[in-house]
Amino acid sequence: MNPGIDLQGSFVRALIDLGLPSGVAKTVWLPLPMLLMLVVATVSIFICVWLERKISAGAQQRIGPEYVGPIGALQAVADGVKLIFKADITPAKSDPWLFAIGPAIVVIPVFLSFLIVPFGQNLVITDLGIGIFLWIALSSIAPIGFLMAGYSSNNKYSLLGGLRAAAQSISYEIPLALSVLAVVLMTNGLSTIDIVNQQSGYGFLGWNIWRQPVGFVIFWISALAECERLPFDLPEAEEELVAGYQTEYTGMKFGLFYVGSYVNLMLSALIVSVLYLGGWSFPIPVETITGLLGVSESAPVVQLLSASLGIVMTLIKAYLLVFLTILLRWTVPRVRIDQLLDLGWKFLLPVSLVNLLLTAGLKLTFPFAFGG
Amino acid sequence: MFVLSGYEYFLGFLIISSLVPVVALGASKLLRPASAGPASRTTYESGCEPIGGAWIQFNIRYYMFALVFVIFDVETVFLYPWAVAFHKLGLLGFVEALIFIAILVVGLVYAWRKGALEWS
C-alpha cells in the first residue's frame, strides 16, 4: 500500500530544525489541520447553498442568483452577513437558556464529525480507532438540540416540529448504523482510513457499492432522513408547521440551524463517498496509471500529484452526491409522517438486518471477496 | 494508553468547533440592532393571538418508537465489537449473532403485532 505523504512528520521536523523542542513543534501542529478542516466545512456551506439555489432554479426554469459576485457565487455570503445584522428575538414566553443552547447543540457535533473524514492516506485530522463509530455517536446528539429548540420556543409548531425531528432521527439511526456495520464487517476495523484502503486496489470495481448495493441504498435513504432533506423534511414542512422547530428563531441563532443542516449534508455526502465510493481512491488504480506511463509509484512528484488528486476525487464524489440530493428534492414529493415511520421501521430495519447477516454469511463463504 | 491515543485531537477539535456558535453569536451581538419592542416577542401563531401555551399534556405518539429505538440501538452497539472481530470468530460467531438477532427480530415482530409501530 502506498504510504502517502506525511505532512505532519515533515512539518514537525521542519520546526525542530528551526530549533524548537519536539513537544512545542507537535503542539504547534495540533490546531492547524483542525482549523483547515473548519475552513473546508465552512466553504462547503457556501458551495452547497449556491449549488442548491442554482440547481433548484434550473429545475424550475429560472435563472437563480446572479447579481452577488460572479454567477451569483457570493449569494450565500450575503445571506450570512444579513443574518448577522438581524435583530435577535427571544420570545417572551420561551425558556431563554434552552432557546439559546439548542442551535449550538445541533451545530457542534456536526462540525466535530469532520474529525474522522479522510481526504487521503494521511490527510485526516486523526485516525481514531473507533473511526466511523464516532460519527454515529455524534449524529445522535443533534436530536437533543432539536427537542430543546422545539420545546423551549413554547410555540405549537415548534414543539410538533421538534418532536418530529427527534422521532425521525432516531427511527433512521438504526438502519444507518446497521448498514455501516456491514461495511465494518468487511473491513475488520472501524477506522475510516482502513475502510478506504480495503476498497482500493481494483479501481472502481473494488468499491463497496458493488459488494454492498443494498447497504448503499439503505444508507443513502437514512442519511437523507437524518439531514432532513426532501422527501423527508417533515420537521420543517412549511405547509403544515411553518418552519418546525425553527419557527421562533431569528438572526444568527436561525443561521446556526441553517449552517448545521448544510454542513450535515456535506458530511453525509463525504461519509457515503468514504464508505461506498472508495473515498480518495481513483476509478483506475494509481499503480496501473504509473505502470502505463512507466514512472515509479514512489517518486515524489507522483506522490504529490496522487495525493492532491485524491482530495479532488473525494470532493468530486461528495459533490456528485450533493447534486443528486438536490435533484431528488425537486423530483420526489414529501412523505407523510406515518409513511416515514413505516418506511424506517417496517422496511429499512428488517432489510438492513438481512443485509448484515447476508454479508456475514458471504464473508464466511467467500472470505477473499469480502475482506477475509 | 494505546486505546486513548489520538484523543487529544478530539478534545482540541471539540474546543475549536464549540467556538463556531460562540463566534457567530458574539459577532451578531456586536453588530445587530436592539430588539424591536414587546410586540415582536409574542409567540407566532400564523398572525392570530396565540391561544394557550405549548407546554401542555398531549399524546406525543412517538413514545413507543422511542422505547423500541432504545432496544435496537443497544443491539447495534453490541453488534459492533462482533463485526470488528468477526474474521477471527468464524462460523461459531456467525451462528451466535444469528441467534442474537433472531431473538431481537422476535421482539420486533411482537412490537409490530401489538401495534407499537402504528401511527393511529
Which of A43, A82, A86, A88 to mutate: most B Cβ within 10 Å? A88
The domain tally of chain B equals 1
Contacts of B8 in chain A (CB under 8 A): 30
The reported pLDDT for the residue numbered A67 is: 85
Chain B contacts in chain A segment 64-83 (CB below 8 A): 83
Contact A102, A145 (CB under 8 A): yes
Evaluate whether residue B82 is within a structural domain.
Answer: yes
Q: What's the pTM? A: 0.87
Contacts of A108 in chain B (CB under 8 A): 14, 17-18, 20-21
In angstroms, what is the C-alpha Rg of chain B?
A: 25
Percent of chain A whose pLDDT exceeds 70: 97
Q: Average pLDDT of B14-40?
A: 83
Q: Average pLDDT of A253-260?
A: 88
- Give the closest-approach CA distance of B48 to chain A in angstroms: 13
Which residues lie closer than 8 Å to A329 by C-beta, 6 or more apart? A56, A229, A230, A231
Evaluate whether residue B22 is within a structural domain.
Answer: no
Evaluate whether residue B27 is within a structural domain.
Answer: no
- Give the closest-approach CA distance of A283 to chain B in angstroms: 27
pLDDT digits (tens, 9 = 90+) for A287-335: 777 777 777 777 777 777 877 888 888 889 999 999 999 988 888 888 8
Q: Which of B104, A355, A289, B66 is nearest to A347 (CA)?
A: A355
State the residue for C-alpha cell 451569483: A72
Q: Which of A143, A124, A136 is nearest to B83 (CA)?
A: A136
Contact A44, A266 (CB under 8 A): yes
Closest in A151, A190, A248 to B44, CB measured: A248
The reported pLDDT for the residue numbered B120 is: 63
* Residue A215 Ramachandran class (φ > 0 left, ψ -120 to 50 alpha, else beta): alpha
Cell numbers for A212, please give them: 454492498
pLDDT digits (tens, 9 = 90+) for A54-87: 898 988 888 888 888 788 888 888 888 888 888 8
Cell numbers for A321, please give them: 452526491
The reported pLDDT for the residue numbered A217 is: 92
Contact A198, A155 (CB under 8 A): no
Evaluate whether residue B68 is within a structural domain.
Answer: yes
pLDDT digits (tens, 9 = 90+) for A107-143: 999 988 888 888 877 777 777 778 888 898 888 888 8
Is the pLDDT score of A3 beyond 60? no
Evaluate whether residue B36 is within a structural domain.
Answer: no
Evaluate whether residue B78 is within a structural domain.
Answer: yes
Tell me which residue range forms the domain holding B111: 56-119
Q: How far apart are CA A195 and CA A291, in angstroms?
A: 25
CB atoms A89 and B54 under 8 Å: no
